[in-house]
Amino acid sequence: MACFRRRIFPFGSFPLQSTQLAHSGLVEGVGGNILRTFSSVVATEQKVLKLEEEEGKQSLEDEIAKIRHVFNAAKQRFQKVPDTLREIPKTDPKGIYVNKDLRLDNIQVFGFDYDYTLAHYSANLQSLIYELAKEYLVNELRYPDSCLEFKYDNSFPIRGLYYDMSKGCLMKLDFFGSIEPDACYFGRRKLSRPEINDLYGTRHIGRDQAQELVGLMDFFCFSEACLIADIVQHFVDAKLEFDPSYVYQDVNRAIQHVHRSGLAHKGILSDPEKYLVKNGQLLRFLRMLKENGKKLFLLTNSPYYFVDGGMRFMLEDSLGHQDCWRELFDVVIAKANKPEFYTSERPFRCYDVEKDTLAFSKVDAFLPNKIYYHGCLKTFLQITKWNGPEVIYFGDHLFSDLRGPSKAGWHTAAIIHELENEIQIQNEDSYRFEQAKFHIIQELLVKLHATVSNGEASEEYMSLLWELNEERQKACYTMKRMFNKSFGATFLTDTGQESAFAYHIHQYADVYTSKPENFLCHPPHAWLHVPYDIKIMPHHVKVSSNLFKT
C-alpha cells in the first residue's frame, strides 16, 4: 500500500489561505508574486496528492490481486489431500489429557462415580429414558396425548448445550459465552443469524441473560435436550401458547422422576445385555490400583441394588466365582445426593443389604464390606483422614461430580465417553484436510480486510470477500457434520475454537479421558504434565495452513 507523505513547508507548519493573504496586504505589488507563487505551490500539492491517491488505489488493487493469486493457487491444491497430511501425528483416542500437572505417585486414594464412569452404557439407554419421561409428562402432567408419538433422535443433541428458559432456545455456546451462530434452535428449527440478533441483540450472552440459562452437562442430558426441543416444536406447530420455563421445569421433573422412582434402574437391570457394556479392562485397572497399595472408594447417587446388579453383570466374565466387586473398594457410598453431598452436613447411614433397611446407629468408622447411604464430605474426611491433595475423584458430570471435589482440594478426572469418537474423527485425513482449508482462508480474509482499512471497498474486493467467505462456510459446514449435524463437536465450535463445555472442563478437571481404564497406559508413579505448547484443549491438534503452501 502507498504511504501518504507529509509535505514540509519551510515558512510555517501550514500554508496560508488566499483570503488570509489578501487581508494581510501581501497581494499588493511584490506581494502579488507571493500569491502567485503560493497558488502554484497549492496546485502542485494537490497534483501530488492526486497522484498519491491513484498510486494508493493501484497498490490496493495489486494487494487484492496477490491475495486472489494465493487463493486460486490454494484452490488448486484443495482438489486432493496433500501427502504431507499423513505425516502429522495422530492423537490417541484413549489418551489422558492434562489441564493441570498431576503426579500419580502422590495420589494415594482413588474415588469413582458409577453411572457413565465405572458403568459404560449403550446408546439404547437414552431412548429408554426419553420414552419413560414422555410417558410421565402425558400421564402425570397432562401433556397432550400426541406427545406419545415422539421418538428419540440420537443424531440431534450433544452434551454441553444450554436452554434459555426465557426465550425457549436450545443453544451451544463458545468459550467466551457467545452463541454459536449455526447451533441455536427454537424447537427443532435452527434459527438464522438475523433471528438470533432479533432475540438477543448480540451473540454474546450477558450476565443478566446468563441467569436464564440452564446447562445440560451430564450424559443423561441427551434425552432431556431432545425432549425439550420436541415439546417446544410441538407447541409451535399446534399454535399453542406456552412459557418456555415451564417446559424445562416439567421435562426436568420427568427426567428426575425416571431416575428417582427407579424406573430407569429397573429397565436397565431387566435387560442388561441391551443397556450395559461388559468391561474386563475396568477390573484390571481397579486391581492394579489395589496391588499398588492405593485406597479406593465408590461415591454415587444411584441406589445400591442398581450398582450391585450393574457391576456384577459388567465384571461377571472377569471376576472369579469367589470374588465380589465390593472387595475392591475400601468404602462404598450410595444415594449420596451429589452435589449437596459436598456442602451439606447430612449424616451417614449404614445400609443392610439383606433387609434393604438403614441402621439407626451413628457412623463414625467405615467398616470393610459394608455399604453406606447419604452422608457429607465433611464427615467423610473426618472419618477417613484422607487429605485433599492425595485424593483423585473420577466423574462424568462437571458440576455434580467434579466442582465440589475441585473446590475441596481433591484432584479431579473427567470421564467424557464421546471424547474417544471425536478424537478419531479429528485424526481422519478428511477432517484435517478441511481444517487446513479453513485456516488458510482465515489468513487470507485477515489480509483482505487489512487492504481496505484506509480505503474504500472496490468491486474486486467485494467479489473476493464473497468467494472467501463462501469457501470458509463450506469448510465449517463440512467439519461440523462430521461430528453432529445440528450442533457440531462437543469440545469445539465450528471455527475450531473451544466450546463453553471445554471451558468448564478447564475449570473443574485436572485431567480428562474417555474411560478410567485408560490410566492402565501409565504406570502408577507417572508424572502427567500440561503440554508446553498448548493453545486450545490438549487433545486437539491444529493443522497448519502451510499444508497448502508447499
Where does the pLDDT of residue 208 fall: very low under 50, low under 70, confident under 90, or very high at 90 and above?
confident
Report the run of H or E that residue 172 belongs to, with start and end.
strand 169-173
Alpha-carbon span 209 to 179, nearest angstrom: 12
pTM: 0.83
**pLDDT above 80 for 499:** yes
Q: How far apart are CA 159 and CA 124, in angstroms?
A: 16
pLDDT of residue 3: 42
CA 543 to chain centre: 19
The confidence score (pLDDT) of residue 509 equals 94
- In angstroms, the CA 546 to CA 550 distance is 7
Per-residue model confidence as pLDDT tens digits over 500-511: 999 899 889 999
Cell 434459527 found at: 191
Minimum mean pLDDT among 17-26, 351-360, 377-386, 474-483: which range? Answer: 17-26
Q: What is the band of 488 on the pLDDT scale with cuts at 50, 70, 90?
A: very high
Q: Does 255 score more than 90 pLDDT?
A: yes
Task: Please determine, for residue 180, whether its predicted confidence score (pLDDT) is greater than 80.
Answer: yes
Cβ neighbours for 109, distance < 8 A, ≥ 6 positions apart:
294, 295, 296, 297, 384, 386, 390, 391, 392
Check residue 320 and give its pLDDT.
66
- What percent of the chain shows pLDDT beyond 70? 85
**Each residue of 135-153: pLDDT tens digit?**
999 999 999 999 999 999 9
The per-residue pLDDT for 234 is 96
| Distance from C-alpha of 104 to C-alpha of 446, rounded to nearest angstrom | 44
How many degrees, rounded to 5, is the angle at CA 374 between CA 370 and CA 376? 110
Residue 62 falls in the annotated catalytic set: no
Q: What share of the chain is helix, strand, coil (3-state, %, to 5)?
A: 50, 15, 35
CA distances for 492 relative to 114, 202, 397, angstroms: 27, 21, 18
113 known member of a binding site: yes
Residue that the C-alpha cell 442398581 belongs to: 306
pLDDT tier, 88 (very low <50, low <70, confident <90, very high otherwise):
confident
Instruction: Please tell me the predicted confidence (pLDDT) of residue 472.
Output: 92
- d(C-alpha 214, C-alpha 389), whole Å: 31
The pair phi, psi for residue 237, each rounded to 5°, is: -65, -35
Kindly list the distances between the CA atom of residue 106 and the CA atoms of 74, 109, 171, 308, 389, in Å, as whole numbers in the listed order. Answer: 51, 9, 40, 30, 8
Q: Which of 115, 164, 218, 494 is catalytic?
A: 115
Q: In 3-state terms, what secondary structure has residue 28? A: coil
Residue 413 in 3-state DSSP? strand
The mean pLDDT value for 541-550 works out to 61
**How many residues in the chain?**
550
Say how many C-beta atoms besides its own lie within 10 A of residue 58's C-beta. Answer: 12
Average pLDDT score over residue span 310-332: 85
Kindly tell me if the per-residue pLDDT of 232 is higher than 90.
Answer: yes
CB hemisphere CA count around 299 (13 angstroms): 30
Distant-in-sequence, close-in-space partners of 379: CB < 8 Å, separation ≥ 6: 345, 347, 348, 363
Report the largest interatomic distance among the alpha carbons of the chain, rounded to a whole angstrom.
Answer: 124
Over range 349-373, report the average pLDDT.
94
Strands (E) in 364-452, as ranges, are 371-374, 391-395, 411-415
Question: Where residue 21 falls among pLDDT bands split at 50, 70, 90?
Answer: very low
Confidence band of 535 (pLDDT split at 50, 70, 90) = low
pLDDT at residue number 46: 59
Output the pLDDT for position 226: 97
For cell 461430528, name the residue. 483
Cell reading at 413:
478426572
* Confidence band for 407, pLDDT divided at 50, 70 and 90: confident
CB 539 within 8 A of CB 95: yes
With 90 as the cut, is the pLDDT of residue 452 above it?
no
Average pLDDT over residues 36-62: 59
Of 20-24, 277-281, 432-436, 461-465, the range with the lowest mean pLDDT is 20-24
Q: Residue 392 pLDDT more than 80? A: yes
C-alpha cell at 205: 450472552
- Rg for the chain, CA atoms, rounded: 32
Q: Which residues contact 58 (CB under 8 A, 6 or more apart)?
A: 2
- What beta strand segments (E) does 57-112 contain? 97-98, 102-103, 109-112
Whether omega for the bond prior to residue 339 falls within 30 degrees of 0, making it cis, is yes
pLDDT surpasses 90 at 330: yes
Closest CA to 57 of 458, 337, 348: 458
115 is catalytic: yes
Does the annotation flag 145 for ligand binding?
Answer: no
- The cell numbers describing 69, all together, are 493469486
The residue extents of the domains of the chain are 75-94+419-452+459-518+525-531, 109-120+276-386, 123-270
Higher pLDDT, 184 or 34: 184
pLDDT of residue 114: 96
- Contact criterion met (CB below 8 Å) for 508 and 406: yes
Mean pLDDT of the 174-195 span: 93
153 is in an annotated binding site: no
Confidence of residue 7 (pLDDT cuts 50, 70, 90): very low
- Distances from the Cα of 323 to the Cα of 252, 260, 328, angstroms: 39, 30, 9
Tell me which residue of 464, 467, 440, 441 sits closest to 452, measured CA to CA. 464
Q: What is the mean pLDDT of the chain?
A: 86
Point out the catalytic residue in the list 83, 101, 105, 113: 113
**Can you tell me the distance from the alpha carbon of 310 to that of 306, in angstroms, rounded to the nearest whole number?**
6
The architecture (CATH level 2) of 109-120+276-386 comes to 3-Layer(aba) Sandwich (3.40)
How is residue 6 written as a grid cell? Answer: 507529509
324-to-66, 252, 372, 527 alpha-carbon distances in Å: 71, 36, 17, 32
Across 119-135, average pLDDT = 94
